[in-house]
């Protein structure tokens, strides 16, 4: 088109308009004659290549010589597929400019073919996308790395620690997690400025790298703290590395703003898997030991220690943990269902699935007896996976019910659980629309960004999400907007005895106003009397749950006999 327009004086005004549009957008149009290998350009090609006009590539070969060798094979495959009629021509790659730097371009085009089907000419557009690529690379970097120190950020460090814990448990290894805190960083910020404080943090991070072993991992926990994962290390080895860190930081002053500053750090560490089996618990225990070190005068190391009572509780927990493992193996895990009803008609709207376990004698063990131990021992992901399987089986078995199920805070950041959910409901929208996933308020606030991603992923599958125990934490209007949940379950502590507690009444009224503004469905738990049910209905609560309407039961008769009412209240527009 470019050649015919120039050679035959056809539509030159249109060509001028195209040139103006291209120059305004920064795009460059090209026409590649495949028979002669000649290239023609329209737009600011000289600016794109950073070359004089007479040096702009005039053939396909010279243009290929400017493409980054790492990107050229992918472009050639794309061209081959397009010429064969198998794909659109659309790719991104880097070209070398006049200064020798590589710039990213987005290349899109279409081929013309002869009457015999042979490709004759490719017409396309190059769009500079270097700025976009740099922004993407930066976002990708910040998703895993701390911007200041360049080490792993807290999320990536936690993922690495989870992997180390899994490996230690599977292969009977021992390791340690160290929390390293810079002493008196606040005083340094006050005396020398925050830039000096940041420089100290960067230097401490570099000295940590020099103090640890090659396989150890350093990350930034935030504030004045770093974390170190020693995947395979005895207690004594961890203690020795911690001492080396103290000495490396202490022995040489820091050069800040032409001044020499002496800096020290304190270290707390926890052994795994003996003392901890989850990354959250390891972080907490190592930082607890770090506080002990700071309280002990700083510039010292303190391991996490269990008291005699804690040791006894730990042994009891191990026994319970083994019993839970055996129950999973022997299929003694079950779900009990509690009805949730419409606040006005008291008709069944949905059920909540609650975890139960049968002991070896067939007696029911409430979740409160073993779930805290399961969470401490890092077994919650396995339990939540089994709960998901049981819940989905019952959703298939009872096609008229809508069901909510609880998951732990750990599972809310477990991608394997999300993949399991996706594999089961992605092709079954009839099941997805009847499943509500509940996360506790405190778990959601622990890592708001991660929780928001989880909520979004679950809702994209067609399921609903509820915040359980709402009011137990410090959720704000901004938090609720970020999480975009569908249902709010008011914490039972605000419902129990509400008729005699004016403060709880005020809280519930304010919460209902907030929920209505955000178009959220509300559920009140722990409803135990007819008077409470009437009061809550009058205040505007949508759904009610509690012993007044039914206790949790395994395979209750009403689950079979009643069909869930199709109330739009669960799915507000």
Instruction: Could you please state the CATH topology (level 3) that the domain comprising 313-570 is classified under.
Output: TIM Barrel (3.20.20)
pLDDT level of residue 445 (50, 70, 90 thresholds): low
What average pLDDT does the segment 113-132 reach? 91
Which tens digits make up the pLDDT trace of 477-505?
Answer: 666 777 889 999 998 999 998 999 999 99
Residue located via tokens 């910020």: 189
Distance CA 266, CA 178 (A): 10
pLDDT for res 88: 87
pLDDT for res 570: 44
Q: Are strands 435-440 and 464-470 parallel, antiparallel or unpaired?
A: parallel
Q: Which residue has the higher pLDDT, 307 or 202?
A: 202
**Greatest mean pLDDT range, 18-32, 309-323, 348-362:** 348-362
Q: Where are the domains of the chain?
A: 2-129, 143-305, 313-570
pLDDT level of residue 236 (50, 70, 90 thresholds): very high
Instruction: Could you please state the CATH topology (level 3) that the domain comprising 2-129 is classified under.
Output: Beta-Lactamase (3.30.450)
Residue 92, pLDDT above cutoff 80: yes
Residue 450, pLDDT above cutoff 90: no
CA 450 to chain centre: 4
Mean confidence (pLDDT) of the chain? 87
What average pLDDT does the segment 281-300 reach? 91
Residue 533, pLDDT above cutoff 80: yes
pLDDT for res 571: 41
Angle between helices 448-460 and 415-425 (to 10 degrees): 10
Assigned CATH for 143-305: 3.30.70.270
pLDDT level of residue 315 (50, 70, 90 thresholds): confident
pLDDT level of residue 367 (50, 70, 90 thresholds): confident
Residue 331, pLDDT above cutoff 90: yes
pLDDT level of residue 451 (50, 70, 90 thresholds): confident
Residue 3, pLDDT above cutoff 60: no
pLDDT for res 517: 86
Distance CA 498, CA 492 (A): 10
pLDDT for res 4: 46
CA 71 to chain centre: 31
What average pLDDT does the segment 260-287 reach? 92
Q: Where are the alpha helices (DSSP H) in 296-366?
A: 308-329
Residue 368, pLDDT above cutoff 90: no
pLDDT level of residue 5 (50, 70, 90 thresholds): very low
pLDDT for res 321: 86
pLDDT for res 282: 93
pLDDT for res 573: 38
What average pLDDT does the segment 304-316 reach? 76
pLDDT level of residue 563 (50, 70, 90 thresholds): very low
pLDDT for res 355: 93
Which tens digits make up the pLDDT trace of 128-146?
Answer: 999 888 888 887 777 788 8
pLDDT for res 568: 43
Residue located via tokens 């149009």: 29
pLDDT for res 191: 85
The pair of three-digit structure tokens given for residue 236, joined into one six-digit string: 């004594």
Q: Give percent above pLDDT 90 in the chain.
A: 59
What average pLDDT does the segment 117-130 reach? 92
Alpha-carbon radius of gyration of the chain? 32
The per-residue DSSP string of 135-201 comes to HHHHHHHHTTB-TTT-SB-HHHHHHHHHHHHHHHHHHT--EEEEEEEETTHHHHHHHH-HHHHHHHH
**Least confident segment among 178-182, 343-347, 534-538, 552-556:** 552-556
**Least confident segment among 264-273, 407-416, 426-435:** 407-416
Helix and strand element counts for the chain (H, E)? 23, 22
Q: How far apart are the first and last CA of the chain?
A: 51
Q: Where are the alpha helices (DSSP H) in 32-173?
A: 45-49, 60-64, 72-83, 130-142, 154-171
In residues, how long is the chain? 573
pLDDT for res 547: 95
What average pLDDT does the segment 3-18 reach? 56
Q: Which residue has the higher pLDDT, 134 or 525?
A: 525
Residue 69, pLDDT above cutoff 50: yes
pLDDT for res 569: 42
pLDDT level of residue 474 (50, 70, 90 thresholds): low
């Amino acid at each position: 088109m470019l050649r015919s327009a120039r050679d035959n004086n056809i539509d030159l005004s249109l060509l001028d308009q195209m040139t103006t549009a291209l120059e305004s957008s920064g795009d460059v149009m090209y026409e590649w004659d495949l028979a002669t290998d000649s290239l023609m350009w329209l737009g600011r090609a000289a600016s794109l290549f950073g070359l004089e006009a007479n040096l702009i590539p005039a053939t396909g070969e010279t243009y290929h010589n400017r493409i980054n060798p790492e990107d050229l094979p992918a472009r050639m495959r794309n061209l081959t597929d397009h010429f064969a009629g198998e794909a659109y021509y659309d790719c991104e790659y880097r070209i070398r400019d006049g200064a020798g730097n590589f710039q990213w371009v987005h290349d899109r085009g279409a081929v013309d073919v002869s009457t015999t089907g042979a490709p004759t000419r490719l017409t396309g557009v190059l769009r500079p996308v270097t700025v976009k690529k740099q922004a993407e690379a930066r976002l990708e970097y910040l998703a895993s790395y701390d911007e200041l120190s360049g080490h792993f950020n807290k999320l990536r460090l936690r993922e690495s620690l989870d992997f180390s814990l899994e490996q230690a448990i599977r292969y009977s290894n021992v390791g340690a997690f160290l929390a390293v805190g810079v002493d008196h960083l606040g005083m340094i910020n006050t005396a020398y400025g925050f830039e000096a404080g940041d420089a100290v943090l960067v230097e401490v991070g570099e000295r940590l790298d020099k103090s640890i072993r090659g396989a150890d991992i350093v990350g930034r926990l935030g504030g004045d703290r770093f974390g170190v994962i020693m995947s395979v290390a005895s207690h004594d080895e961890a203690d020795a590395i911690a001492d080396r860190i103290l000495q490396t930081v202490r022995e040489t002053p820091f050069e800040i703003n032409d001044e020499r500053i002496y800096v020290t750090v304190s270290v707390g560490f926890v052994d795994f898997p003996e003392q901890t089996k989850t990354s959250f618990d390891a972080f907490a225990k190592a930082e607890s030991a770090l506080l002990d070190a700071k309280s002990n005068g700083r510039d010292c190391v303190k391991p996490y220690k269990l008291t005699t009572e804690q040791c006894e509780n730990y042994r009891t927990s191990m026994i319970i943990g083994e019993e839970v493992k055996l129950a999973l193996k022997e299929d003694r895990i079950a779900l009990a269902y509690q009805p949730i009803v419409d606040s006005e008609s008291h008709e069944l709207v949905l059920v909540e699935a609650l975890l139960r376990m049968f002991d070896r004698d067939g007696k029911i063990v409430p979740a409160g007896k073993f779930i805290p131990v399961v969470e401490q021992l890092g077994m919650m992901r396995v339990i939540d996976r089994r709960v998901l399987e049981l819940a989905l089986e019952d959703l298939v078995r009872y096609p008229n019910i809508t069901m909510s199920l609880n998951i732990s805070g750990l599972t809310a950041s477990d991608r394997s659980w999300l993949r399991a959910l996706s594999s089961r409901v992605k092709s079954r929208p009839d099941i997805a629309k009847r499943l509500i996933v509940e996360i506790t308020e405190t778990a959601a606030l622990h890592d708001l960004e991660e929780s928001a991603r989880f909520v979004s992923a679950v809702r994209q599958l067609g399921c609903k999400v509820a915040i359980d125990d709402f009011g137990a934490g410090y959720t704000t209007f901004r938090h609720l907007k970020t999480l975009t949940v569908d249902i709010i379950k008011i914490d039972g502590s605000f419902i129990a005895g509400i008729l005699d507690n004016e403060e709880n009444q005020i809280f519930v009224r304010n919460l209902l106003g907030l929920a209505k503004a955000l178009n959220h469905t509300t559920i009140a738990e722990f409803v135990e009397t007819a008077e409470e049910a009437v009061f809550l209905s009058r205040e505007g609560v949508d759904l009610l749950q509690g012993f007044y309407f039914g206790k949790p039961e395994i395979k209750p008769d009403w689950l079979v006999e009643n069909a869930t009412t199709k109330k739009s209240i669960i799915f507000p527009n």
